[in-house]
Amino acid sequence: MSNNSSFISIQNVSKSFGSVAAVSDVSMEIGGGEFFSLLGPSGCGKTTLLRMLAGFETPTSGEIVIDGQSMSAVPPHQRPVNMVFQNYAIFPHLNIHDNIAYGMRKERLPQAELDKKVEEMLEMIKLPGYGKRRSHELSGGERQRVALARALIKRPKVLLLDEPLGALDKQLREQMQMELRALQRSVGITFVFVTHDQEEALTMSDRIAVMSKGRTLQIDSPTELYEKPITREVAAFIGTMNFFDGRVVSVDNDQIIVDAGALGIVKGIKDTTNFGVGEMAQIAVRPEKFSLSIGAPNGVGNFIEGNMISTAYLGERSYFHIAVNGIDQPIAVSAQNSASADINIRDHKGQVWLGWPDAAVVLLKQDASHSQAQ
């Protein structure tokens, strides 16, 4: 499939149910062959957006274009998309073979050829010989794969997946994440994948649209979202983030200097966000960007003294909370538990030193929702 930069174009799409605005003025471009995720908390409008792509809901306003064709007047059964439903929606009255073959009626294939195609799909989803079974004889993970095969046999241009792994237990879910990603690479179909699990979105996607209350907050690659969130909401939703208030003291070509009170003077790297001198800014730092030491670090750099108030051992990494005088919230810090790591620090109570590189600092605009929240 061509790597068309805009295979699906969603243009200012809104959808209201009565007085509930489920999706508000959403625009995005999804490339051909891309693994694209819609990520957001429950009720933020992900399913509604996906159902508009499938044609089960009509946008209240705005337009959806797929492969250069406007979808406004195209009913679901004529769209070049297929969907894997949240509950899989396997036909209960048909066996697995007939479920997978369901969408092939119009192809009018000879029975033998159809059977061969279905058997190929069953092999692809690693359920060979399951054709005669009924859906109630399958486990959740197996049903999910049947739903996938039933959609993929049609060779759609776009596959829509609505939290397809939500009902699976953790181990199976992680395995299916890998399989799904590998499958998507091998078939080259555009996947639009809905999830409320940020870890899942980060590990699987080429790009992610973070949604909240019917709007998109940021559309970016997983690394960009994690390293350079553009709003506090995105920063807080993806992973853990420490926030500090500050005031911009100077701005030059490549640096922004912020006075962060108890945290001291913080230097942030200047990117696309513009700040004026005197403006309030949010300083955001990921827990793993801090370094911890028991003795005062020597040499230059940013560091601050604090008091270790709790530690949590989580296998491969440990989490610490450090209280700093003059900062309301304890600072969250995490560190890898490698063999060479300082074991002492895990059992340490009392005074510690926190350090961070300038590159760890993300500067965010002070947004309205934050000043209300805190």
Partner 1 sequence: MSMSYINRPNRPLHVYALLYLAFLYVPVLFLPLFSFNDSIFIAFPLKEFTFKWYEVMFNNEPMLAALANSVKVGVVTSIVATFLGIFAAKAVTRYRMPGRGPVVAFIMLPLVIPGIIFGVSLLILLSELGVRLSLYTVTLGHIIVCVPFAMVTMIPRFEGFDASIEEASSDLGENMWWTFWRVTFPVVFPGIIASFLLCFTISFDEFIIAFFLSGTEPTLPIYMWSQLRFPDKLPGVLALGSIILMVSFVVVFAAHWIRNRGMPYKRVGGV
Ligand X SMILES: Nc1ncnc2c1ncn2[C@@H]1O[C@H](COP(=O)(O)OP(=O)(O)O)[C@@H](O)[C@H]1O
Residues in touch with Mg ion (CB under 5 A): 47
Interface pick for ligand X out of 14, 24, 37, 47 (rule CB under 6 A):
47
Quote the least distance from Cβ 106 to partner 1, whole Å: 6
Coil/strand/helix, residue 49: helix
76 belongs to the binding site for partner 1 (CB under 8 A): yes
Query: To 10 degrees, what angle do helices 170-187 and 140-152 make?
Result: 10
Indicate which of ligand X, partner 1, Mg ion, none lies near residue 219 (CB less than 5 to 8 Å, by partner kind): none
- Residues numbered 80 to 109 that lie near partner 1 (CB under 8 A) are 81-83, 85, 87, 89-95, 98, 101-106, 109
Indicate which of ligand X, partner 1, Mg ion, none lies near residue 103 (CB less than 5 to 8 Å, by partner kind): partner 1
Quote the least distance from Cβ 101 to partner 1, whole Å: 4
Element of type H or E holding 48: helix 46-54
x-marked contacts with ligand X along 120-159 as a string, rule CB under 6 A? ----------------------------------------
Indicate which of ligand X, partner 1, Mg ion, none lies near residue 248 (CB less than 5 to 8 Å, by partner kind): none
Quote the least distance from Cβ 299 to ligand X, whole Å: 49
Buried b (16+ CB within 10 A) or exposed e, 264-300: eebbbeeeeeebeeeeebbbbbbbbbbbbeeeeeeee
Q: How far apart are CA 168 and CA 171, in angstroms?
A: 8
How many chain residues touch partner 1 (CB under 8 A)? 32
Choice between 22 and 285, CB closer to ligand X: 22
Structure tokens at 322: 């450090």
Q: Which amino acid is at 178?
A: M
Phi, psi angle pair for 110, to nearest 5°: -60, 150
Interface pick for partner 1 out of 18, 19, 68, 77 (rule CB under 8 A):
77
Give the largest CA-CA distance in the chain.
78
Of the candidate spans 15-23, 143-151, 289-297, 311-319, the one that interacts with ligand X by CB under 6 A turns out to be 15-23
**CA-wise closest residue to 320 among 283, 354, 357:** 354
Of the candidate spans 44-52, 229-237, 254-262, 313-321, the one that interacts with ligand X by CB under 6 A turns out to be 44-52
Choice between 26 and 364, CB closer to ligand X: 26
**What DSSP assignment string belongs to 321-334?**
EEE-TT-SSPEEEE
Quote the least distance from Cβ 76 to partner 1, whole Å: 5
328 burial level (CB within 10 Å; 0-12, 13-18, 19+) = exposed
Dihedral, CA atoms, 48, 51, 57, 62, nearest 10 degrees?
70
346: left (phi over 0), alpha (psi -120 to 50) or beta: alpha
Choice between 205 and 242, CB closer to ligand X: 205
114 belongs to the binding site for partner 1 (CB under 8 A): yes
How many chain residues touch ligand X (CB under 6 A)? 11
Of the candidate spans 150-158, 245-253, 264-272, 363-371, the one that interacts with partner 1 by CB under 8 A turns out to be 150-158
148: left (phi over 0), alpha (psi -120 to 50) or beta: alpha
Indicate which of ligand X, partner 1, Mg ion, none lies near residue 22 (CB less than 5 to 8 Å, by partner kind): ligand X
* Structural contact between residues 214 and 222, judged by C-beta atoms closer than 8 angstroms: no
Indicate which of partner 1, ligand X, Mg ion, none lies near residue 101 (CB less than 5 to 8 Å, by partner kind): partner 1
Dihedral sign for Cα atoms in the order 94, 97, 100, 106: negative
What are the residues binding partner 1 (CB under 8 A)?
A: 54, 56, 75-78, 81-83, 85, 87, 89-95, 98, 101-106, 109-111, 114, 150-151, 154
What are the residues binding ligand X (CB under 6 A)?
A: 17, 20, 22, 40, 42-48
